[in-house]
Structure 1
Amino acid sequence: MSNSLDPDRSLWHVIAIEVRRQRELHGLSETALARALDCNRSTVSRIENGLRRLSAKYAATLDELWQTRLLFTRLVAFANATDDGDWFTGLKDYEARATRIKMWELSVVPGLLQTPDYARAVLSAGLVSDVDRELEKRLSRQAAVFEKPKPPHISVILNWVVLEQPFGGPDVMRGQLARLLEVADLSNVSVRVLEKGAGDHMGVEGPFKLLTVDDRDIAYTDAPTRGRLILEPPDVQYLSVGFDRIGDIAATVRPSRALIEGTMETYQ
C-alpha cells in the first residue's frame, strides 16, 4: 500500500512516509512503535500506508520520542488546515471502524446503500474513467461496513428527490428501492425520507455523513469534484446540528417506508 503514496499529491502522504522513515531510522518495528503510541500494530500500519491520518496526540508523542522539534505536530496542524482534496485517504478506514454512521443525501442513494446496478448507473452518468474499478471500491466499502461482526448503527435521511431521480431505468430503480427497504429492516438501520413539502432546510447545502470512530465524531462532506474529511469539533458539531434539524422535519420511519413502497410502484 505504501507504494501508492505520493508526497507531491498530499501532505498526509508526506506524513505517512516520514513516520515510516523515522521508525526505520531509529530501528523500531511496527510493534515497538505501537507500544510507544499505546495503540495496536495495525494502527501504525494504517498510518504508514496512508489509510489513517496521524492524530495530534500521536504527533506530539512522536516528536517527543524522536526529538523531531515539533515536526510532526506542525505537519499535522498544516495538513488539518489544508483541504488538499485527498478525501478518500482514511474515509474507507473510518467507515469500517465506525460504531455509528449518520447520512444525509440530497439527490442519489448513498454509496453504502447502493445496489451494483444502481451504482454502475450513477458512476456511468459521471466522468469516471474506469467504472468497473470504482464499482469494486464501492462494493468493498459496503462489505467493510455491513459484513463485520458488529455493524454500526446507521441513520439515513433521504431527500425525496433520491426516490424520484431515475438511474439505470425502472428495473434498476425498483431493485434499488427494494434494497433500501431491505436495509431498513435491519435492527441497526433506520431510513427516513424528507418529503417534498418539507419547506426550507439547511440540507440544501449538500450531502454529508457523520461517523463516530474510537469515541470521536468526524464528518465528511461530498461535492461534485471532491469531498472533504472534517475533523475539527466545531465544524463537526455544525453538521451534527444540521442533521438533527433535517431529522426534525423528516417523515418518521413507518411513513418513510410507505413513501419508498409507493414510489416503487411508479417504476413499471
Structure 2
Amino acid sequence: MSRVGNLDPDNDYGHWIASNLRFLRLTWGMTTAQVGEIIGVTASQVSNLEAARSQLQIEQAESLDLRWKTDGHLTRMVRQRDRPHDPDWWNQYVVYERQAERIESYNALVVPGLLQTEPYMRALFEVSVVVTDIDAAVRDRLARQESLRKKDPLELRFLIKESALLDPIGGKEVMREQLAYLLEVSRWPNVVLRVVSRDIGAHVGVDGSFQLLHGGKRVAAYIEAVGGGRLVVTPSKVAGYRRRYDTLMGEAQPRRVSEGLIRDAMEG
C-alpha cells in the first residue's frame, strides 16, 4: 500500500499527480477535509488520493483547478494519464528496458524482439507501416539485444503463442533459422521460454502481447498495439497484467514440451 513518503513521482505518473495534489493543498493551507468538500469526498479519501491509493478523476481535477486558480494544471495531468496512446511511450519503454533486471514477455503474433534473428526482423520491418528506415531499425534492435550478452545478463521469461512459431515470416529458411535460435536461447541459464499451445482455446492472452519490466522497486507493463503501444506504470494496473501473466504461465507447456513444439514447427 502506497504512502506519501514512498511515492516515486519521477517514475510513476500516478505518483506525480498525487504529489502535485498534496503540494497544492499545503500551498493553499488546506486540510484534507477542506479539499474533500471541494471535490465531494471524505478527508480519508483525499488522503488516499495523495498516497496514490486511488486516482484523481477529471471532474475532481477541474474543481480543484478552478478553486486554486491553477489554469488547468491538474486537469491536463489527468488527461495525459488517461490517454490511450502516446507516441513518446516507446522512448520511455526503451529506458525501462535498459534499466530492467528482469523482463517477462507474452508474445501472441511474432517472436519477441529481443530474440529475433536479423533476417526475421528485416522481414517484419519490410512490411511495417511505421518503420521508414529499415537498416536503422535493425541496428537499434540488434543493439537492444546486447543486453542478453552482458556479464550479468537480464533474467528473461518468454511466453510465445504457438501460432507465432508457425507463420513463415521471411520464408521457410528464415523461419527455420529463427526457430533454431529459439531452441538455443531456451537453454541459456538466464532464460525461461515456454510455448502457449493453440489447444487451450480462449485464454487471457487473446487481447494481445505485453511485457512486464522489473527494475529495482519499479515494475512497468508495456502493451503492444498497431502503430505504437502504451507504457503502464500505475501499480494497480500493472498488478492486473501481473495476474494475467501468471495465469498464462500456468497454462503454458513445460520446457521439454515447448522445445518439442518448436522442433515440430521447424520440421513443418
Identify the match of residue 91 of structure 1 among 93, 98, 109.
Answer: 93
Give me the whole-angstrom Cα distance separating, in 2, the residues matched to 1:253 and 1:120. 28
- Counterpart pick for 1:172 among 165, 174, 180: 174
Q: Given residue 133 of structure 1, which amino acid in structure 2 is its aligned partner? A: A
Deviation of 1:250 after TM superposition, in Å, equals 1.2
Q: Answer with 1 or 2: which has the greater Rg.
A: 2
Could you tell me which of 109, 112, 115 is aligned with 2:114? 112
Contact 1:55 1:76 in 2 (8 A): no
Secondary structure at the residue paired with 1:202? coil
Paired residue for 1:131? Answer: 134
Give ranges in structure 2 of 5+ residues lacking alignment. 1-9, 29-69
Q: How do 1:36-55 and structure 2 match up within 5 A?
A: none
Match of residue 188 from structure 1: 190
- Counterpart secondary structure, 1:136: helix
> What CA distance in whole angstroms lies between the structure 2 residues aligned with 1:251 and 1:147?
26
For 1:252 and 1:213, the matched residues in 2 are separated by 27
- The alignment covers a number of residue pairs equal to 211
User: Aligned pair 1:80/2:81, yes or no?
Assistant: yes
Contact preservation (8 Å) 1:192, 1:252? yes
Q: Per the alignment, do residues 119 and 53 of structure 1 end up closer, same or farther by CA in structure 2, a change over 3 Å counting?
A: farther
Runs of 4+ off more than 6 Å: 52-55, 68-71
Shift of 1:195: 1.0
SS in 2 for 1:251: coil
Q: Which amino acid aligns with 1:142?
A: Q
Q: Distance in 1 between matches of 2:206 and 2:182?
A: 22
Q: Give the alignment's TM-score, normalised by structure 1.
A: 0.70
Compute the TM-score of the two structures, normalised by the length of structure 2. 0.70
Aligned to 2:209: 207
Contact kept, 8 Å, 2:12 with 2:233, in 1: the verdict is: no
Is 1:141 aligned to residue 139 of structure 2? Answer: no
For residues 17-53 of structure 1, give each alpha carbon's deviation from its aligned partner in whole angstroms, at most 9, with x where no partner exists: xxxxxxxxxxxxxxxxxxxxxxxxxxxxxx8xxxx88
- Unmatched runs of 5 consecutive residues or more in structure 1: 1-46
* Preserved CA contact (<8 Å) 1:108 1:162: yes
CA RMSD of aligned residues (A): 2.8
SS at match of 2:236: helix
Distance 2:225 2:90 in 1: 13
How many Å separate the matches in 2 of 1:238 and 1:203? 12
